Structure 1
Amino acid sequence: MTGDHSRRPPAGWLPHPRLALLLAVLWLLLQNRFTVGGLLAGLVLGVVIAHATRSFWPQRPHMRACGKVFAYLLGVFRDILVANVAVARLILFRPAARLKPCWIVVPLDLEWPEAIAVFAGTITLTPGTVSCDLSADRRSLLVHCLDAPDPDAMVRVLKERYEVPLKEIFE
């Protein structure tokens, strides 16, 4: 990526087909039952919302490795389960005085805003870590860790487990 985020929004009657389809599916899930009317309403809402928000999506991220998305999601789901158990153990069995909470700054190699948002969201979804701030130049992310005896190791883990696969997916 060259860093040029100033291109025009996608044109055409359906500028973001995946977004429209996702919104239609979410609409059907919210209805709690399938009807033809619900499907049509979801499709209309999806197209209308995709059109209404196209100026907020000046360019679509290029996802080179769609097959890796599934592997990434499985890895994140596994990490969330493992971290839930680890945080529960910390809270229930370790005195608070022995915790090593800290703030870490994670330097970013990601350039796509969508990839950075997924990275920050993944960190926040994983119990024990919270993404708190993105630097103005989008080159570093401030993260709070509940227990990180070695902050440098935590930075390496976050970059290896989440940022590297996201670079393969988005760039």
Structure 2
Amino acid sequence: MKRLFPAPCLSLALWGLWLLLNLSLSPGNLLLGALLGFIAPVLSAPLRPLPVKVGKPGVMLKLLLLVMLDSVLSNLAVFWRVWTHRRHPPRSAFVKVPLDLRDANGLAVLSMITTLVPGTVWSELAMDRSVLLIHVFDLDDEARFIEHFKRSYERPLMEIFQ
């Protein structure tokens, strides 16, 4: 069964997304969505580096809420900085963040979070996964940013994935 459906949740999500994007429950769309949901995970299964072992749903929920809050607050901060850029130009900088997280899946989620939150962009990861280079749109205090990044995002991901 695992060979036919290596990721049943992904299969269902792809099927549902297909139906949602087409806004139709016609037999053809139901069949095409099911076919997509079956074929895509089977073909992409060899690309997965490690099986995902996710734990601590409470930590996951807390992290999700924090990312949503940070995204809204960062959007407002970036908007305000762009709006008032003549009086107070942003202080952009590249920041090297030392990482303790080594799990490939955790790093993938960290990259999505970093790119999702406005004002930060994942720039480079060291080959040994020990240092992450992030571009920050407006940086006040580098040490405070690193501490916030590690406490808010890296530590919860380490609890979830390691």
Do they superpose with TM above 0.5? yes
Which amino acid is the alignment partner of residue 139 of structure 1? S
| Superposition TM-score, scaled by structure 1 size | 0.84
Q: Does 1:162 align with 2:149?
A: no
Q: Does 1:128 align with 2:119?
A: yes
Deviation at 1:78, TM superposition (A): 1.3
- Residues 64-103 of structure 1 mapped to structure 2, 5 A cutoff: 64-95=55-86, 98-103=89-94
| Residue matched to 1:104 | 95
Is the Cα contact below 8 Å between 1:61 and 1:112 reproduced in 2?
Answer: no
- Residues 40-51 of structure 1 mapped to structure 2, 5 A cutoff: 40-51=31-42
| Residue matched to 2:143 | 152
Deviation at 1:53, TM superposition (A): 0.9
The alignment partner of 1:59 has SS state of coil
Match among 17, 22, 30 for residue 13 of structure 2: 22
Superimposed CA distance per residue, residues 60-91 of structure 1 (whole angstroms, 9 cap, x where no aligned partner):
12001234333322221111111111111111
Q: How many residues align?
A: 162
Is the Cα contact below 8 Å between 2:98 and 2:130 reproduced in 1?
Answer: yes
Which amino acid is the alignment partner of residue 75 of structure 1? L
| Superposition TM-score, scaled by structure 2 size | 0.89
Match among 92, 109, 113 for residue 104 of structure 2: 113
Deviation at 1:101, TM superposition (A): 1.5
Q: CA RMSD in A?
A: 2.0
Superimposed CA distance per residue, residues 23-76 of structure 1 (whole angstroms, 9 cap, x where no aligned partner):
112212211233444233222211111111111014212001234333322221
- Seen in structure 2, the aligned counterparts of structure 1 residues 161 and 90 have a Cα distance that, compared at 3 Å, is same
Which amino acid is the alignment partner of residue 28 of structure 1? L
CA distance in 1, matches of 2:51, 2:136: 32
CA distance in 1, matches of 2:7, 2:121: 30
Deviation at 1:99, TM superposition (A): 2.6
Deviation at 1:145, TM superposition (A): 0.7
- Seen in structure 2, the aligned counterparts of structure 1 residues 140 and 25 have a Cα distance that, compared at 3 Å, is farther
Comparing 23-32 with 153-162, which one deviates more in the overlay? 23-32
| Residue matched to 2:129 | 138
Identity of aligned residues (%): 33
Gaps of 5+ in 1: 1-9
